[in-house]
Amino acid sequence: MALRELVTGNVRRMCFRVSLFLLLIGGLMPQFAAAQEEERDSYKLKAETFWFYSQPTGTIYGTNKSGSFDLQGDIGFNNYSTFFGRFDWKFTHKNHLILLVAPFDHTKTVALQRTIVFQGQTFSAGLTATGEIKANAFAVGYQYDFIRRQWGHIGLSGQINFYDTSATVSALAQTSGGVVHPAMRATGSLLAPIPVAGPDVRVYLLPRLFVTGNLQGMYLFGYGDYISTTGTVGVPILKNHISARAGYALASNLHVNTSSDRIGLTLTQKGALAGLEFSF
């Protein structure tokens, strides 16, 4: 039931965001439909690099349901700075090949407020423990622009996201409440391929002001699901070769169910982002 509620909520949010995209495009299209000038977003290669101030939340589950821990409630993960990069090769007028790299590596040492069990190891309340999660993402994909004009484009992208994830909870030998606890360490990992698809939009409101937005998601039944959406505002600072962009990732929600040979994970990230775009 919890999974069904999660998926239903994701679908509702996805439909709402798609509606916003359609309303935006519907309102702006009449203003730009007659434009036949050279495309402002003309390039062969594009590289985007972003600073991302993430707010991670979620739960890590041990293999075969052997315990779990909460990133915020148990380990106290808070906001942190990271980056991600996206590379776009537009090999024809409307066809793109996409490569994306997004690292996630966070470690926190805390005094446990409750007893947690992970991978069959029990970490008692009061112990000082360290939690570490690595969820590095790599993606390869393809995008086709159904509409590409002087004012921007409307396209559909599909890609496979590979999440190389490992989670560890460890504690040094210590005494807590008069009881001697030996050193302990519990770790698990998974490599999860997640295919996703969704719309990608870029619209120039003015010659030197544009907005971008994308929405990607997929429900994989018993395996898991994924949904994310990002919007930015951009300003060209060197003709159309370098642009500054800033915006917000409303949510990147990954859910992978646990099994007998892999950990499970629910990881949500959202936050502000800013970066540069280089076009050649």
pTM of the full structure: 0.81
Give me the mean pLDDT over the 31-56 stretch.
80
pLDDT > 90? residue 10: no
Write down the pLDDT at residue 4.
41
CB 21 within 8 A of CB 212: no
Instruction: Write down the residue that tokens 């994701």 correspond to.
Output: 10
Write down the pLDDT at residue 147.
94
Other Cβ atoms within 10 Å of 85 Cβ, number = 14
> Please, what are the domains in the chain?
2-279 (2.40.160.20)
C-alpha to C-alpha distance for 268 and 254, rounded to whole angstroms: 6
pLDDT > 60? residue 2: no
C-alpha to C-alpha distance for 73 and 94, rounded to whole angstroms: 46
* pLDDT > 90 in the chain, percent: 60
pLDDT > 90? residue 70: yes
Q: Which of 8-12, 76-80, 88-92, 110-114 has the lowest mean pLDDT?
A: 8-12
Give me the mean pLDDT over the 242-253 stretch.
91
pLDDT digits (tens, 9 = 90+) for 172-206: 999 888 889 999 999 999 888 999 999 999 999 99
